[in-house]
Amino acid sequence: EATMTAIRLARGATGRDKIVKFAGCYHGHSDALLAAAGSGVATQGLPGSSGVTAAAAGDTIVVDYQDVAALTRVFDEVGDQIAAVITEGAPCNMGVIGPDAEWNATIRQITERHGALMILDEVLTGFRVGPAGWLGHEGGYEPDILTFGKVVGGGMPLAALGGRADLMQLLAPVGPVYQAGTLSGNPLATAAGLTTLRLADDAVYAHIDRRSAELQALIAEALTAASVPHVIQRAGNLFSVFFRDGAVRNFDDAKAQDTQAFSRFFHSLLDQRVYLPPSAFEAWFLSAAHDDSAMARIADALPTAARAAAHS
């Protein structure tokens, strides 16, 4: 609902209809944003979703991630019709792809030049890679709207958006852009979220960063020993393992991995009671609950899982 509202707000603020998203980036299950989505859509190998009409997706333009030339060309052709570009701060739904140093700043420059807005989706990265999210981790640009979820709910269903004051004033009941819902501002979810954010101090983030680096090293060691082609990519403390050689920069690269090797790796760990996200396209992350005992259990299970991945 945060990304859905952000899209509505961008359209209301600009008077334009079209939205640009990037192939492999996932922004929730609203009809306009399911085109060429990552996450579960990618796992199922679907181009979008049954039930999404051509009209609903007709104002969504999909561009390859980190293709500056393609993004520039789209704006040169229909820039006066584009309300916003929406992008994940660092993509986490086609596997984790740490963006090139100037990529997000370039999106900002192009949108500003054409009078469009930049929506930074921090649903996965916000309050996870640090207290200021990916924007605080990277810096160097200012999006118009940011969206949040997951961590902000402290395990409860909660989403949020923020942005420039003049844009936020356009939301109802102050402005003409409608936003409301049965679960909006749910007191239990907001209490859980606020408590989580208060507990997430510098020591918690340092612990998670350390555990993430430790786990990446353990995985690399096990897969290398079993001669399994792989590359581990990270964005802050988020990471994922691609079962292929070479860097992954976009959705096509991500889809070129050996998903069957991932499946064997996943099921071996599952049998050993180590629970990964059940998709080769999801991010891996740890928490403050991962102590020495948990890390030891994972380390013990990895060699067997790596050998399973190696044998088709």
Q: What's residue 30's pLDDT?
A: 83
What angle do the packed helices 292-310 and 202-225 form, to 10 degrees? Answer: 30
Return the number of other C-beta atoms located less than 10 Å from residue 7's C-beta: 26
Q: Active site includes 205?
A: no
Q: Active site includes 150?
A: yes
Residue 239 has phi, psi (to 5 degrees) of -155, 170
Block means of pLDDT (10 residues each) for the chain, 312 residues, are: 96 97 91 66 53 80 95 96 98 96 97 99 97 95 97 95 98 94 92 97 97 98 98 97 97 97 98 96 95 98 98 82
Q: What's residue 312's pLDDT?
A: 73
Rounded to a whole number of angstroms, the CA Rg of the chain reads 20
Catalytic residue among 65, 121, 144, 255: 121
Catalytic residue among 21, 150, 255, 258: 150
Domains of the chain by start residue, with CATH? 2-199 (3.40.640.10), 202-310 (3.90.1150.10)
Q: What's residue 42's pLDDT?
A: 45
Q: What's residue 31's pLDDT?
A: 80
Q: What's residue 303's pLDDT?
A: 98
Q: What DSSP letter does each residue of 6-53 carry, written as one string?
A: HHHHHHHHH---EEEEETT----S-GGG-TT--HHHHHTT-SS-TT--
Residue for token pair 């991630």? 65
**Contact, 211 vs 43, CB < 8 A?**
no
Q: Active site includes 18?
A: no
Q: What's the Cα-to-Cα distance from 79 to each of 14, 73, 76, 84, 289, rounded to whole Å? A: 12, 9, 6, 10, 47
Catalytic residue among 26, 65, 144, 253: 26
**Contact, 215 vs 283, CB < 8 A?**
no
